[in-house]
Structure 1
Amino acid sequence: MAKNEARRNALADAGITVLAREGSRGFTHRAIDAEAGVPLGTTSNYFRSREKLIAGLVERIGIRLSPTPEDLAARASDAPTRELFADYVRDIVRRLTTHRDVTLALFELRLEVARRPDLAAAMREWQHQALDGDVAFNEAAGLPGGRREITLFHYAIDGLVFDRLTSPIDPGTSTDDIVDDLVAGLLR
């Protein structure tokens, strides 16, 4: 396998773009080569199979959607309240909706996994790690809510973001207001 990490990341980013734009049917090694502007066969040197390519994209999506250390540090000194929890959730939704291609690619990967269960392992592992990380972060920060509430927020945020990126049910309602209502409803 090729070792140039910067090129591997650039190819994964090109794969994210192709997947978001074309869906899984247009998601090929050749399409990624073309999007990245590299010679044919380059993507297959870094990701030998579709399964490895999907695993690489899942990893890259996780990196691109993670909060920055600056975002986390800015809130670290705040008291652990429901309002701080809501601020974290609003930040998650902001990252998911701002990085539209990344989030659409993630939804496409989830649909691909539904069609091809043999690819589910990478997605399932990533989802469980993300949930476990969110629960651990919430507990360490002393924020309200436990594993059950964090799981419910994952479900709700996935639905909210899908709605906002596709055809919103109520486009006139502020996304922040929806998040605040979710927090109030789930953290009684």
Structure 2
Amino acid sequence: MAILGKLLANRRAGERTLAWHRPNLAGDGVFELTSPDFEHESFLTTPHAGKRVGGQDRSPALAWSAPPAGTAQLLLVVEDPDAPMSKPFVHAVALLDPARTELAQGALDGAETVAGVQVLRSGFGRGYMGPSPIKGHGPHRYAFQLFALAEPITTVNGAPVAKAKPPAVLSAARALGRARIDGFYERS
């Protein structure tokens, strides 16, 4: 598998393909997103990695400062822009009640209902999927992006938001502001 990683070393979706850079999500307001489980631009620990690589698929705990006034809903998106694809791999998508200011570890796994958290579809299935990059592909960035939405998303293209794929949810959102924290994971 390490050979595949080396062959694909220069193939990555890229930073510019993240939800962070979509015009509809580039609100003017800025707020802070942090985690007690990792510092910005540090490495994620094994429990937060995918089960395929020995992790537990446990989403890290997150906390954030007050979003901009008028926030109707929060949209959390976790993407890997280093995936060897044309678009980032989506590791989690969730809609959050704007009164929430934090998420506990595992709140995005989708197995249990957490008040004020609606876990949506991700790259495969529903809920948080921990990092499991190709062995030998180098470090992968995992962008935890939180968007303060001006209007809540309940439907996408006439269907309930719970059935929508991540690109459709991202297209339906309009952000007032945003926050971000990045972690890394690598399999050598």
Q: If the length of structure 1 is used for normalisation, what is the TM-score?
A: 0.23
TM-score (norm 2): 0.23
Higher relative contact order (CA 8 A, sep 6+): 2
Structure ID, larger Rg: 1
| Between structures 1 and 2, the one with greater helix share | 1
Larger relative strand fraction: 2
